[in-house]
Structure 1
Amino acid sequence: MSGKLGEIEARIAATHQLEAVVGAMRGIAAARSHDAHAKLAGIRACAAAAGAAIGDVLAFDPSGASARAANADNGPEVCVVIGAEQGFVGGLNDRIAEEALGGARERVRHWLLVGTRLVTACAERGLTGTWSAPMAAHPAGVPHLAARVSDALYARLADGERATRVTVTHALPGESRMRIVQRTLIPFDFARFHVTPRALPPLVNVAPARLLAGLVELYVSLELCEALMLSFAAENEARVRAMLAARSNVRERLAGLSQQYRAMRQDEITSEIVELSTGREATQRAMI
């Protein structure tokens, strides 16, 4: 076997190893996305319970909602942007960064960025000096990350500037081309909660205003947790699609290398036959 054939065989073996790695990455990403979708039900159940409690408090003290209504047209804004932690997600981080930074952001005072690759994408667009945190590596780490983001958010809401608007930007899973959404967390929309009139008010151990404030903070934290889990699922679904495209490219490369190997092997066999035939004719002439 010639050195060229040996080189092609080595490249074929390396490509097979690459195909195995791509398949493993696709399997891991698919499993993590499935796990994230499974955990969304629990987050939404907690949010539903908190929303029902908010409705009960509003039935007891309807003035609490109007007392907390904020004017979102004035004052600084806090933007939470959630992206990917790792690579192999196509242009997902660029799309999220463009969506978050593309609109008018003159009133933005604080940026809270989640995902190392997203931080890099935003820095390339001139956004620096922000609070950031790495994205959770597993769905089980999302609640802890949501608590960190909530603490950073409320720390900025409590500062001297008193931000009046909070938004969260993230990707949604489950679509062939992922959609980037931006949701408003504050001003808090009390109208979405069902208020059931009661003949007797609920028994509470704290002042209704204080109870309502605590429930609103809990609900916003749960909304952040849901956004983080959705973004985690979207990141891994994007990675699955990227690995499927990579697998197609690897298989095309394998087919090309195999065809090249067969052609080169056939050329060597033909050359050997020609050499044997020439040698035989020379021997016969020498014997005459």
Structure 2
Amino acid sequence: MEQRAADVQARLATVSSFGELVGAMQGVAAARADHAKKLIAGTNAYARTVANAMGQALALIPQDRLATSPEKGRRPLWILFCPEQAFNGSLSDKVFAAVPALAGARVMLLGAQGIRIAPQQGVAPEWSSQLIAHADAVVPASDRLQAALEQALAREPASQVELVFAEVGEGNQHEVVRRRLLPLDLDTLRRVQDANPVIHLTPQHLLDQLIDEYLSARLVHALLHSHCAENLARLQAMAAAHDNVNHMTEDLGAEARRLRQEAITEEIMELAAGLQALNRSSDSAN
């Protein structure tokens, strides 16, 4: 009985400690998600500004000079953004599942959790790296990714470049999406201008510079949303873990109380038996 009670108390202490850890992880995930959301708002505004500027530059260039025919025989290139840390609700599996025909596909992969399960998915990425752990690291991470992308396209041009990442929407909801990065959707970017803007560069030179900014903004968007979605997924996982900890604490607490009551009852029965034995001895002596 005493050993069993000691075991229950030890388990209760372990579960309580785990609950404190879960609470701390919830706090960290919430803070990181909130910080990422603030940066997302700014980067979205920047991306819109660059896209508008590209539309103005495109209006100055005849459409026949921009028309390109798709290259045959080229493979698409997929850039997958997976979580960096665990406890994310199988988010990496969802990212991989969004890519059709993964076997033999060209893949660039971000996120330690995605890199870990890539062999199970039949994926051998031609380039891989960590996902950002903090939102403030997004700009240098985007620069590294853009440089790696340029090198990959120089080695083997692609028919298109697709981003696959978890995008955050309203109410902390997120879903895995596919977004085309290249070739640029010129029809969407182009818009008719009532008056041509004043520029000091040739329209083509201006457009070339804006394309770099636009690609950078798109990669920053994917990185920030992936980082934010990872922490939101972790919040959900930790909320479920917190509920389980509470249930386990209640169950173990009830078990500990029951064992204490049984121990008290046993002691009372032993005392009663001792008193009865003492009374019988006293009666025999008389």
| TM-score, normalisation: structure 1 | 0.90
Question: How far 1:192 sits from its partner (Å)?
Answer: 1.8
Q: State the alpha-carbon separation in 2 of the partners of residues 176 and 196 from structure 1.
A: 36
Correspondence for 1:164 = 159
The yes-or-no answer on 1:87 pairing with 2:86 is: yes
Letter in 1 for 2:54: I
Which residue matches 1:219? 214
**Structure-2 separation of matches of 1:158 and 1:55:** 27
**1:171 match: secondary structure:** strand
Structure 2 match to 1:77: 76
Equivalences for residues 78-117 of structure 1 within 5 A: 78-100=77-99, 103-104=100-101, 108=105, 110-117=106-113
For residues 146 and 129 of structure 1, the distance between their equivalents in structure 2, rounded to whole angstroms, comes to: 18
Give the equivalent residue in structure 1 for 2:3: 3
Matches within 5 A, 1:250-265: 250-265=245-260
Of the structure 1 ranges 182-191 and 170-179, higher mean CA displacement relative to structure 2 is found in: 170-179
- Residue 71 of structure 1 aligns to a residue whose secondary structure is coil
Change in Cα spacing, 1:248 to 1:153, as seen in structure 2 (3 Å) is same
d(CA) in 1 for partners of 2:104, 2:180: 15
Structure 2 matches for 1:1-288, cutoff 5 A? 2-63=2-63, 67=66, 69-71=68-70, 74-100=73-99, 103-104=100-101, 108=105, 110-159=106-155, 161-174=156-169, 178-193=174-189, 195-197=191-193, 199=195, 202-205=198-201, 207-288=202-283
The one-letter code sitting in structure 2 at the alignment partner of 1:77 is P
Contact 1:70 1:164 in 2 (8 A): no
Partners of 2:57 and 2:104 lie apart in 1 by: 33
8 A Cα contact 1:96 1:180, kept in partner: yes
TM-score by length of 2: 0.91
CA drift at 1:130? 2.2
C-alpha change, 1:130 and 1:82, in structure 2 (3 Å) is same
Contact kept, 8 Å, 1:15 with 1:254, in 2: the verdict is yes
Matched residue pairs, number?
282
Q: Deviations over 1:104-127 (max 9, x none)?
A: 35884x311010101122221121
Q: Classify 1:201/1:87 alpha carbon distance in 2 versus 1 (closer, same or farther; 3 Å).
A: closer
Aligned-residue RMSD, C-alpha = 2.2
Helix, strand or coil for the counterpart of 1:264? helix
Residue 33 of structure 2 aligns to which amino acid in structure 1? S
CA contact (8 A) 1:171 1:231 kept: yes
Q: Which runs of 5+ in 2 are unaligned?
A: none
Worse-matched range after superposition: 47-56 or 15-24: 47-56
Q: CA deviation at 1:2?
A: 2.5
Alpha-carbon deviations, 1:183-218, whole Å to 9, x = none? 11112111223534355562223x322321221122
Distance 2:25 2:54 in 1: 43
1:2 and 1:257 map into 2 onto residues whose CA distance is: 15
Tell which deviates more after alignment, 264-273 or 54-63: 54-63
3-state SS, counterpart of residue 222 of structure 1: helix
**Kindly tell me: are residues 199 and 224 of structure 1, through their superposed partners in 2, closer, same or farther at Cα, counting changes over 3 Å?**
closer
Is there any run of 5+ residues in structure 1 with no aligned partner, and where?
none
Q: Distance in 2 between matches of 1:217 and 1:68?
A: 19
- Judging changes above 3 Å, is the alpha-carbon distance between structure 1 residues 107 and 18 closer, same or farther for their aligned structure 2 residues? closer
